[in-house]
Amino acid sequence: MTTLAAPLTPPRLTSSFLRVLAFCTSLCLSALAFAADAPKQPFNLPADSAEKSLRNFSQQSGLEVIFPSKLVQGVRTNAVTGEMPARDALDAMLADTGLVVVQDRNTGAFSVRKETAAESKNAVRVVEKIVRPEKILKRDESGLLKLDTFTVTGTQIRGGQPTSPLVTIRDTEMRMSGHNDLGEVIRALPQNFSGGQNPGVQSGAPSSVTGSQANQNFSGGSSLNLRGLGPDATLVLLNGARLPYDGFTQATDITVIPTSAINRIEIVLDGASAIYGSDAIGGVANVILKRDYNGAEISARIGSATDGGFNNQQFNATTGTTWKSGGLIIAGEIYNVGQVKSNQRKYLPTTLGDTTLYPSSKQRGILFSGHQRIGADIEFTLDGFYTSRKHSQTVDDRTNHMINFVRSESEIFGISPSLRLSLPMDWSLCLQGSWGSNKIDWDLDVLADDATKLLDQPTRYENRASSASVQSEGPVFHLPGGDARLSVGGGWREGTFQSFDLTTSTANVSGEDRSYYNYAEINLPVVGEKQKIALVRKLIFNGAIRHEEYRSFGGTTTPKIGALWSILAGIDIKASWGRSFKVPTLNEQFQVPTISLARPIARGNPPGSAGTAVLELRGGNRDLHPARAEVLTVGFVARPENIPGLDIEVNSFTIDYTDRVRFPIAPITQALTNPAFSSFVKLNPSNSEIASAFSAVGRAAALPGYATSASFSSPPVDALLTAYNSGLVYALVDNRQANVAKQYMNGIDASLRYRMNAFNGKLVLSATGSWIIESTRKLTAMAAEQEAAGTAFFPANFKGRIGATWSQGGLTLSTNANLISGVTDTTVAPTKRTDSMLTIDAICNFATHSELFGDLEVNVAATNLLNRHPPLFGAHPLGLSDWANYDSTNYSALGRLVSVAVIKKF
């Protein structure tokens, strides 16, 4: 059975396309107006080992240089001083060393490789297109070492250029951002929403507003939530392999990877189910580890919030080595964070008491990544990690005279082996497997004011995932622009989830699902540079299709097509369209359904309902099917050849997301009176309908007795067996998980980066922002359309970041301004809009080399330098004392954070 999403609404699609086309045209004209020779820069590069000289060149030029460590071992470079273009300095430094460089026309990045005999004889300087991702070494026919290109995230084609927007965050950028872990790094990304499973998200992000349980801090972990489509709608990979899900919302915890082992994160801002399968609706994030790492590094960071709390200590150790046919890197991390309490923030209500705003956490992690070449044509890789975390927080519920203590202990690990074979005619074959687990022991203790224990709810949540795949890739025929390349493959994936009550030894959720898939992707370079066609320097089309068969619901097929049109050197227009899907989580499918009684007065109080009861169903639903999305992106990239330091990119996105799984009745207090919920409410149900409802939860409907004086606040049916009478049931309400919600969104992403010489050093200016122009949602088919973006507990309409980084020698100074627009609080009448939040970050990094200390770095960072607090709501309409009166999914109450780090390299 194959089901495809409905097409996009034409007027909305046309409007979005015209908007970005006009913007792209203006930027294109601006970019073409620039004309300049390659800028000169000051260089002071003493003769030294090639590895150290190349790193110094990269630091002084601000340009990336890619080189395998073993390729440059034993090579000594020439001294270079004075002002000159970066390329000239690099050529002079490597003259007569047997090494040459190739340069990326788009980015200005350099790649170092072995000089061929012809190049040595003729002294040819090569400038060609390179791809920046991972490299491996292999030998060509003459026995010389050459670089072979791995695929970039967003395509399975080697050397292919994805037509989807791609954001790359490198390890140096993470270090200069002032953030402590990977969770903080991704929460600062303008296209990411901080709601979902993230530290600091409060109980003030209610499911009654969003219709979802996703906005909460469950385990202390951090999840990506691109476009705010949900933490389970962004796929997260580690070196291309899936990570296990986290908790009962089944997001993916990205902070389990030690930061010192990370080379970069590549984020595809587009639907990608045709390439990667389920979950890739908002996008895909691939954490790529360091490779061919030689040496060791230890670091220590301490910091705190100046208003109190968030005392943190972070210790990292990384070591790696390479040998002739492989390499290994091992990294470990210890990270402790102290909690922040509401009474430490004077602008918050005193009624919050000791409520935790940010939890305490103790995390320990270790990771290894190795690769070994076997002969000339086989390479084996193995990645693995283990992380443990303890997390705790408190909710001071003074309205009900209770204190809730939440504690959890997590263990997360994963392992992913792969075997890559080089085949004849430039084909390759890759076999990959993965297995991982995320286990959380979670405990909720509820104490009364007199310390009486009212509730003890220890629960274990365990997600397991395993997969195996085979993929082959290579050229199929030749086109004017180059070889058409094809990637085909297939595999299987299995996931299991169990929620286990440790007190009663019973499972609340126990389920598994398995899928088999096959896919094909093709890249067609129709026009190339050699044809010299005016205004069509390059024209590339690509397409992918994937079919999956799930044991739970059947089959689904998702296509994707894209195009890249290079008008002039460095001026590209990209577009892609595709369908994506998200399989219901195992919790949504297999959560044990419950049945309960409630008073009609608490469900809308319709006339004639006095003295009766409402019978309610809630929980999982085995009949769910996938949520589906149709995603269109149109983009413009300008990297003018005459201005190698300038990068401009603008992308328009349109997302039509349907059949989302939600509890269909939200808020439940309107169940009997809101017409939008009528299809889930049966008035005056018959005995057979009631019996069917009880059968759905595995219980008998013949329950004796009913007392109208009984309390019906929504207790479990077991406590009301003697109070039930089918003749007094006013309505049967089915509020189990269902494919009911829809969301439409369009907007624009824009980024600018410019590298230049200034103030006797290298200056990099950057600006990036994401603007959600329109975002509407419908909780059910009959519900009214509501605004999503710009309202509380949904993404703000605008999130942006402007920065400047200046470096000279070993000194680097960086500052960033972060802006999040205000949101409207819809929980009060009349609604109220908050102010926006602007924060400033400042970071200073000093690297030095001395005989006494060797290679040493000191990093001082202050985020939210001006100590801005989150914009506040008014009083809660229900008068709840545990109400955190700010939107914790968009804004942080941490305030000014100051940290100092020392990094020692060996």
96: its two tokens: 């007569």
878 burial class (0-12, 13-18, 19+ CB within 10 angstroms)?
A: exposed
Residue 133: per-residue pLDDT: 36
- Tell which residue, 457, 354, 467, has the closest CA to residue 407: 457
CA–CA gap between residue 243 and residue 236 (Å, rounded): 6
Mean pLDDT over 527-551 rounds to 94
The pLDDT-based confidence of 175 (bands split at 50, 70, 90) is confident
92-96, 186-190, 617-621: segment of lowest average pLDDT: 92-96
Mean pLDDT of 450-478: 93
CB contact burial 408-419 (16+ within 10 A = b; e otherwise): bbbebbbebebb
Contacts of 728 (CB under 8 A, 6+ apart): 611, 612, 613, 706, 708
419 pLDDT more than 90: yes
State residue 116's pLDDT score. Answer: 60
Contact in structure between 769 and 190 (CB atoms under 8 Å) = yes
What pLDDT, on a 0 to 100 scale, did the predictor assign at position 139? 36
C-alpha pair distances (Å), 349 with each of 11, 792, 883: 46, 19, 9
- pLDDT, residue 471, reads 96
Whether 93 shows a pLDDT value over 90: the answer reads no
Q: Residue 385: what residue type?
A: F
pLDDT tens-digit series, residues 233-259:
999 999 999 999 988 788 899 999 999
Average pLDDT of span 295-321: 95
Instruction: Name the residue with tokens 């047997």.
Output: 98
Helix (H, G, I), strand (E, B) or coil at 788: coil
CA 102 vs CA 139, 168, 539, 650: distances in Å: 18, 21, 23, 27
Burial 224-239 (b: 16+ CB within 10 A, else e): bbbbbbbbbbbbbbbb
- Residue 541's pLDDT is what? 97
Strand-pair partners of 417: 382
Closest Cα partner for 721 from 701, 736, 692? 701
**Could you tell me which residues come within 8 angstroms of residue 376 by beta carbon, excluding any fewer than 6 positions away?**
138, 139, 422
Q: Tens of pLDDT along 349-385?
A: 887 888 899 999 999 999 999 999 999 899 999 999 9
Q: Which long-range contacts (CB under 8 A, 24 or more apart) does 212-218 make?
A: 212/662, 212/663, 213/248, 213/249, 214/249, 214/251, 215/793, 215/889, 216/249, 217/359, 217/393, 218/246, 218/247, 218/248, 218/249, 218/408, 218/440, 218/442
Radius of gyration over alpha carbons of the chain, in Å? Answer: 29
Q: Does the structure show a pLDDT above 70 at 476?
A: yes
Local confidence band at 399 (pLDDT 50, 70, 90 cut-offs): confident
Give dist(CA 236, CA 266) in Å, integer.
Answer: 10
Residue 46's nearest CA partner among 37, 38, 55 is: 55
Work out the burial of residue 221: count CB atoms within 10 Å of its CB; fewer than 13 is exposed, 13-18 middle, 19 or more buried.
buried
Q: Pseudo-torsion of CA 619, 621, 625, 627, nearest 10°?
A: 0
pLDDT of residue 420: 95
Greatest alpha-carbon pair distance for the chain in Å reads: 100
Task: Determine contact, residues 272/235, Cβ cutoff 8 Å.
Answer: yes
Q: In angstroms, rounded to a whole number, what is the distance separating the alpha carbons of residues 634 and 574?
A: 6
Q: Among 263, 385, 379, which Cα is nearest to 327's?
A: 379
Answer whether the bond into residue 830 is a cis peptide, omega within 30°.
Answer: yes
Angstrom distance (rounded) from CA 232 to CA 21:
31
pLDDT tens digit string along 420-449?
A: 999 999 999 999 999 999 999 999 999 888
How far is the C-alpha of 663 from the C-alpha of 734, rounded, in Å? Answer: 9
DSSP string, 257-269: S-GGGEEEEEEE-
Question: Which burial class, exposed, middle or buried, applies to 856 when counting CB atoms under 10 A from its CB (0-12, 13-18, 19+)?
Answer: middle
pLDDT of residue 20: 45
Confidence of residue 285 (pLDDT cuts 50, 70, 90): very high
Q: Provide the 8-state DSSP code for 797.
A: S
Is the pLDDT at 450 greater than 60? The verdict is yes
Q: What percent of the chain has pLDDT over 90?
A: 56
Strands 65-66, 110-114: pairing is parallel
Please, which residues have CB within 8 angstroms of residue 805's CB and are 6 or more apart in sequence?
A: 176, 763, 764, 766, 812, 813, 814
pLDDT of residue 724: 61
Say whether 186 sits in a helix, a strand or coil. Answer: helix
Please, which pLDDT band fits residue 529 given cuts at 50, 70 and 90?
Answer: confident
CB 101 within 8 A of CB 56: no
Q: What is the pLDDT of residues 144-168, one digit of tens each?
A: 333 344 567 889 998 888 899 999 9
Query: What backbone phi and psi angles, to 5 degrees, belong to 654?
Result: -135, 125
Model pLDDT, residue 222:
93
Does residue 475 contact residue 425 with C-beta atoms inside 8 Å? yes
Residue type at 478 in one-letter notation: H
With 90 as the cut, is the pLDDT of residue 25 above it?
A: no
How far is residue 778's CA from residue 784's CA, in Å, rounded to a whole number? 6
For 279, the token pair is 């979950």
Q: Strands (DSSP E) along 359-427, which ranges?
A: 360-374, 378-397, 402-422
CA 430 to each of CA 190, 378, 755: distance values in angstroms, whole numbers, following the listed order: 35, 10, 38
Q: Exposed e or buried b for every residue in 119-131, given b needs 16+ CB within 10 A? A: eeeeeeeeeeebb
Side-chain half-sphere exposure of 193, counting CA atoms within 13 A: 33
Q: Which residue has the tokens 């970066």?
A: 86
For the cut 50, the answer to whether the pLDDT of residue 34 exceeds it is no
Between these two residues, 211 and 464, which has the higher pLDDT value? 464
Please state, rounded to an integer, the average pLDDT across all residues of the chain: 85
- What's residue 208's pLDDT? 55
Please answer whether residues 773 and 790 qualify as being in contact, where contact means their C-beta atoms are separated by less than 8 angstroms. no
Q: How many CB atoms lie within 10 A of CB 767?
A: 16
Give residue-wise pLDDT tens across range 821-855.
999 988 777 888 999 999 999 999 999 887 777 88
| Predicted pLDDT of residue 718 | 37
Q: How confident is the model at residue 51 (pLDDT cuts 50, 70, 90)?
A: confident
pLDDT at 204: 54
